[in-house]
């Protein structure tokens, strides 16, 4: 590991809730600190309301890592709020005077890159956890976002892509490839509680004995509605089947209505944010990730660490983890029928499901652990 003794490192991210990007920031903060750096984190609101700090700040406090809340930073875009955020970032960057500024998420990348250059920071690293132009948006928004991505890449010293797919997505940008480097996500080992204990804590009220599981923000890109639709189909064969989703977000009411319309409302459990969610993985029989866009997917790595069989969309960086019929099953995005068929194939053949989970576990241990990710990233500092 690099020796960063005495070097000042500031890591910045848009939101302080707990998701894949925040997991990454937490791992990098610990890794840089352990390498001798003086580490500070800055992040915005957890809920987009402003003024609140989320689980990321709580985790950093336990590690004794300093964190600065951004009072003006929001996930939603607004011209006036972006101006206030930009001014706040410049003020913090000038006060902190870091040797290395490491930016995460699209908005922080764009604002932070310009603010960092104006503040005189020489080394600016940006990690892309996904390109927002891959989401379903009007054409003019996608064009605007591509322009913002170009500014971020050209303005940064190096841009880290967490999958080969993300690097390929920028093939349209002239001279960008020499500034892009692929460093795939990695996870840290974690404890997993026994199956019955996990189930009793998550959903004690259900009598269903087969569980489909998801870790996902309740957001349109995660396509949780496809999992609900698939549940309706699979329950005709396995009536004791439940879908348990750990995560919170804007689509809660929509998803509850979807479950009601499909007649499965008593078998869909939206459990909201759950602290230390990966420790509950053995509660599940099959893990799902039916996203329509995904850079790589921390939750898939965690499911693999727990040796779970996985059904996931063939999008983004997911095929770099899931090799179809070897480390899991891949399905087309936004296709609940294929999703249901793949779930049925795993439930019908438990031995094959076990083999897929074992193969994925081995791949995660060999290729997707945090020590490798942190070491490769710190070399850029």
Binning pLDDT at 50, 70 and 90, where does residue 49 land? low
Q: Is 146 in the same domain as 255?
A: no
The two tokens of residue 343 are 């779930």
- Nearest by Cα to 356 from 330, 318, 320, 317: 330
The two tokens of residue 287 are 């893990």
Over residues 367-381, the mean pLDDT reads 97
Which domain does 276 fall in, by range? 195-367
Q: Is 165 in the same domain as 206?
A: no
Q: Is 271 in the same domain as 166?
A: no
CA 16 to chain centre: 13
In whole angstroms, give the CA distance from residue 145 to residue 245.
Answer: 30
Q: Is 279 in the same domain as 355?
A: yes
Q: Is 279 in the same domain as 329?
A: yes
User: What total of structural domains would you count in the chain?
Assistant: 2
Chain segment 159-204, per-residue pLDDT in tens: 999 999 999 999 999 988 899 999 999 999 999 999 999 999 999 9
In this structure, is residue 372 part of a structural domain?
Answer: no
pLDDT at 46: 74
Residue 48 has pLDDT above 70, yes or no: no
Q: Is 153 in the same domain as 238?
A: no
Over residues 252-274, the mean pLDDT reads 97
Residue 374 has pLDDT above 70, yes or no: yes
Q: Which of 137, 162, 183 is the last residue of a domain?
A: 183
Binning pLDDT at 50, 70 and 90, where does residue 138 land? confident
In this structure, is residue 377 part of a structural domain?
Answer: no
pLDDT at 135: 79
Over residues 247-262, the mean pLDDT reads 97
Q: Is 77 in the same domain as 203?
A: no
In this structure, is residue 189 part of a structural domain?
Answer: no
pLDDT at 231: 98
pTM of the predicted model, to two decimals? 0.91
CATH label of the domain that carries residue 327 = 3.40.50.2000
In whole angstroms, give the CA distance from residue 35 to residue 3.
Answer: 5
Binning pLDDT at 50, 70 and 90, where does residue 218 land? very high
Q: Is 171 in the same domain as 298?
A: no
In this structure, is residue 3 part of a structural domain?
Answer: no
What is the layout of strands, in order, in the sheet containing 8-15?
66-69, 38-44, 8-15, 100-104, 123-128, 158-161, 180-182
Residue 109 has pLDDT above 90, yes or no: yes
Q: Is 174 in the same domain as 312?
A: no
Beta carbons of 307 and 358 less than 8 angstroms apart: yes
In whole angstroms, give the CA distance from residue 198 to residue 215.
Answer: 15
């Amino acid at each position: 590991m690099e020796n960063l003794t005495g070097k000042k490192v500031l890591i910045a991210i848009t939101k302080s809730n707990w998701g894949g990007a925040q997991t990454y920031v937490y791992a990098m903060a610990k890794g840089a600190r352990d390498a001798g750096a003086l580490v500070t984190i800055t992040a915005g609101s957890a809920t987009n309301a402003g003024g609140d700090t989320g689980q990321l700040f709580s985790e950093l406090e336990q590690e004794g890592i300093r964190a600065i809340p951004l009072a003006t930073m929001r996930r939603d875009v607004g011209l006036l709020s972006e101006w206030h955020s930009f001014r706040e970032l410049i003020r913090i960057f000038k006060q902190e005077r870091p040797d290395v500024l490491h930016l995460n998420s699209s908005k922080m990348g764009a604002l932070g890159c310009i603010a960092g250059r104006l503040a005189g920071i020489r080394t600016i690293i940006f990690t892309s956890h996904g390109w927002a132009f891959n989401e379903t948006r009007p054409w003019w928004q996608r064009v605007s976002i591509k322009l913002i991505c170009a500014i971020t890449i050209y303005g940064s010293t190096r841009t880290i892509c967490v999958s080969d797919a993300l690097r390929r997505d920028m093939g349209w940008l002239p001279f960008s490839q020499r500034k892009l480097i692929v460093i795939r996500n990695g996870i840290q080992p974690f404890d997993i509680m026994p199956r019955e204990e996990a189930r009793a804590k998550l959903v004690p009220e259900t009598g269903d004995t087969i569980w489909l599981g998801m870790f996902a923000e309740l957001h349109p890109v995660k396509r949780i509605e496809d999992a609900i639709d698939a549940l309706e189909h699979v329950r005709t064969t396995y009536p004791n089947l439940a879908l348990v989703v750990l995560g919170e977000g804007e689509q809660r009411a929509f998803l509850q209505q979807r479950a009601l319309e499909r007649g499965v409302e008593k078998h869909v459990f939206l459990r909201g944010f759950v602290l230390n969610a990966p420790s509950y993985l053995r509660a599940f029989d099959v893990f799902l990730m039916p996203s329509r866009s995904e850079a790589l997917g921390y939750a898939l790595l965690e499911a693999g660490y727990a040796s779970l069989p996985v059904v996931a969309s063939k999008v983004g960086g997911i095929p770099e983890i899931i090799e179809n019929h070897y480390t899991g099953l891949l399905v087309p995005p936004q296709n609940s029928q294929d999703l249901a068929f793949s779930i049925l194939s795993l439930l019908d053949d438990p031995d094959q499901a076990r083999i897929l989970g074992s193969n994925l576990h081995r791949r995660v241990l060999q290729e997707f652990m945090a020590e490798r990710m942190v070491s490769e990233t710190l070399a850029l500092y």
